[in-house]
Amino acid sequence: MIRVIKDWLEDRAGAGKALRAFMDEPVPKSTGWRNTLGSVAGALILGQIVTGVLLMLFYVPHPDAAYESLEYVAGSLRAGGLILALHYWGASFIVVAIFAHMARVFFSGAYKKPRELTWLVGVSLFGVIMGFAFTGQLLPWNQAGYWAAKVGIEIASSAPIVGDLIKQLLTGGETLGALTLTRFYTIHVILLPLALGVLVPLHLYLLRRHGPMRPAHDASTDTAPFYPGQLARDLVMISIVFLGLIAVAAIFIGPRSGPIDLTDTSYIPRPEWFFLSHFEILRITPGSLKIVATFVLPNILLVLLLALPWLDRANTTALKDRRLILSAGTVVIAAI
Amino acid sequence: MSESMSRRRALSILIGAIVAAWSTAVAALSGLFISSTLKLGKTGKEVLLGDLTIYGDTFRAVRMRVRVDDGWYKHVEQQTVYIRADKENPSAPIVLSGTCSHLGCTVAWDESRGENGEFVCPCHGGRFGPTGKVLSGPPPSDLTRIPAELHGGDVYLRLS
């Protein structure tokens, strides 16, 4: 029976052939554990989709109900607290996985010709993930999320010419409120997933088109099929990371902060850890130079990141021949 | 079997095991989570409809206000039931659900239809007799009769 269904599908969709072509894709034999980070990030994104959809079954994007509906999820539903914690900590795990993946690509020079476009799409994906993190913070409608969104919107509004327009589009009115919440929700569950739906397949297509980069020390032309060796490595690494995520979520379960209370002057707003470096820059920059911290510096970093394949002009990926760019990159990573 | 073949086989088994384990974990967690609310609102409720003497021998629509625990949303919902005194059994009135057994629309009592009046569903034209029995149309079963009890002259409904 299974054979009949398989043959039927094969005749109509060619699914088996496509799957075999995907699995048998030759990758350099030197491809190993360090090449699993992208798959880990992808799997974590899938995990966020699963927990996100489960939360959407109960979450209500309304100022009177958002906090209460998530309290209900955490307090009254079986495994509700764990699912909420998995979604919350999953965001941090994705940021770590993408940082590690980008650092690996950076140090190995895997952004060089012909993989410049793969790098650009990857940096865009990083931007989308940070967009998820930013919009997701507001949704629980708690103190932490409210102040993070408030500061974030003010930062976006500092952009020359279009700043005010961005602020109005994000806020939906004069103050952060019901319209802001539904806008952030729409961006979080519709617009950003659509962007992911375009960028992730494009990133994978480009990865498959050029294959994983052979490290500088590997002068051979030896290849091995993706299945089963590299797929097994990917899945083992993904499993280890997910076990870690479950452990962190189970230990640090529970609400991050109470419901929004604008009269509470004892609350000290702090952003998520991945926005802390920017938070520190904002803290130490004098008010007269605010735009440097809110707009100029982040955009210089973004442009440098995007232009990396053209800034690193060395014809080799060997570490010893790329000292300047690697030193500069290490300083920036350390500073962040 | 060559060494590379047995390694390939071992890795294939490992891949299958990991995929099966995580799929099971996701399905179990999702099932556990979603099933938390499957039984919500199914606990029995007792509703006071007032003194029996106010109900005559023809059906009267009563809009009950029922507290509903709709997940995090606790609110009062209006539900319609039809009630009339039962000449054969004066100690308990006849109470019928106003919900059509076809697709859940609310039926209306029309005293002028038939010999003793009929319930008519406005959605797909289902018709029910004064006992709630299906007369015509697509409803697959009769209107539900709701158990009513008398306590000290007051009518109580037991909703489930």
In order, the DSSP letters of A93-143 are: HHHHHHHHHHHHHHHHTTTSTT-HHHHHHHHHHHHHHHHHHHHHHHTT-BH
Class of the domain covering B45-159: mainly beta
CB–CB of B136/B146 below 8 Å? no
Do the Cβ atoms of B71 and A82 come within 8 Å? no
Facing residues of B128 across strands? B119, B134
Q: B75: which chain A residues are within 8 Å (Cβ-Cβ)?
A: none
Confidence of residue A209 (pLDDT cuts 50, 70, 90): very high
Cβ neighbours of residue A115 under 8 Å, at least 6 residues apart?
Answer: A206, A210, A213, A309
Helix spans in chain A (H): 2-13, 15-23, 37-56, 66-76, 80-108, 116-138, 143-157, 163-171, 178-186, 192-210, 231-251, 276-284, 290-291, 297-311, 323-335
Do the Cβ atoms of A80 and B36 come within 8 Å? yes
Q: And the tokens for A294?
A: 């809110």
What integer is the mean pLDDT of A95-99? 96
Do the Cβ atoms of B15 and A231 come within 8 Å? yes
What integer is the mean pLDDT of A242-269? 89
Amino acid (one-letter) located at A227: Y
CB–CB of B77/B68 below 8 Å? yes
C-alpha–C-alpha distance, residues B17 and B19, integer Å: 6
What integer is the mean pLDDT of A70-82? 95
Share of chain A above pLDDT 90, in %: 70
C-alpha–C-alpha distance, residues B33 and A328, integer Å: 48
Could you write out the three-class secondary structure of A267-307?
CCCCCCHHHHHHHHHHHHCCHHHHHHHHHHHHHHHHHHHHH
Q: A83: which chain B residues are within 8 Å (Cβ-Cβ)?
A: 29, 33
Nearest Cβ partner for A228 among B15, B22, B33: B15
Lowest mean pLDDT among A194-203, A327-336, B20-29, B126-135: A327-336
pLDDT score at A115:
95
Lowest mean pLDDT among A133-142, A241-250, A289-298, B63-72: B63-72
Q: And the tokens for A278?
A: 């920017």
Specify the residue for token string 């958002």: A66
Q: Which positions in chain B have a beta carbon within 8 angstroms of at least one beta carbon in chain A? A: 8, 11-12, 14-15, 18-19, 21-22, 26, 29-30, 32-37, 71-73
Residue B40 has pLDDT above 70, yes or no: no
Residue of A235, A236, A245 best to disrupt the B interface, most CBs of B under 10 A: A235
Q: And the tokens for B73?
A: 């949303």
CA nearest to B19, candidates A242, A244, A89, A249: A242
Residue A283 has pLDDT above 60, yes or no: yes
Question: Considering the entire predicted model, what is its pTM?
Answer: 0.87
CB–CB of A227/A112 below 8 Å? no
Q: A239: which chain B residues are within 8 Å (Cβ-Cβ)?
A: 18, 21-22
pLDDT score at A119:
97
Residue B42 has pLDDT above 70, yes or no: no
pLDDT score at A61:
97
* Average pLDDT of the residues of chain A: 92
Confidence of residue B1 (pLDDT cuts 50, 70, 90): low
Q: Which residue of B has its CA nearest to A242?
A: B22
CB–CB of B100/B89 below 8 Å? no
pLDDT score at B4:
80
Three-class SS state of A161 = coil
Reported ipTM: the value is 0.86
Angle between helices A116-138 and A192-210 (to 10 degrees): 160
CB–CB of B138/B102 below 8 Å? yes
Residue B142 has pLDDT above 60, yes or no: yes
User: Is A42 touching B (CB cutoff 8 A)?
Assistant: no
Three-class SS state of A322 = coil
Confidence of residue A299 (pLDDT cuts 50, 70, 90): very high
> Nearest CA of chain B to the CA of A129: how many Å?
23
How many CB atoms within 10 Å of residue A39? 19
pLDDT score at A167:
94
What is the edge-to-edge ordering of all strands in the sheet holding B73-84? B60-70, B73-84, B94-97
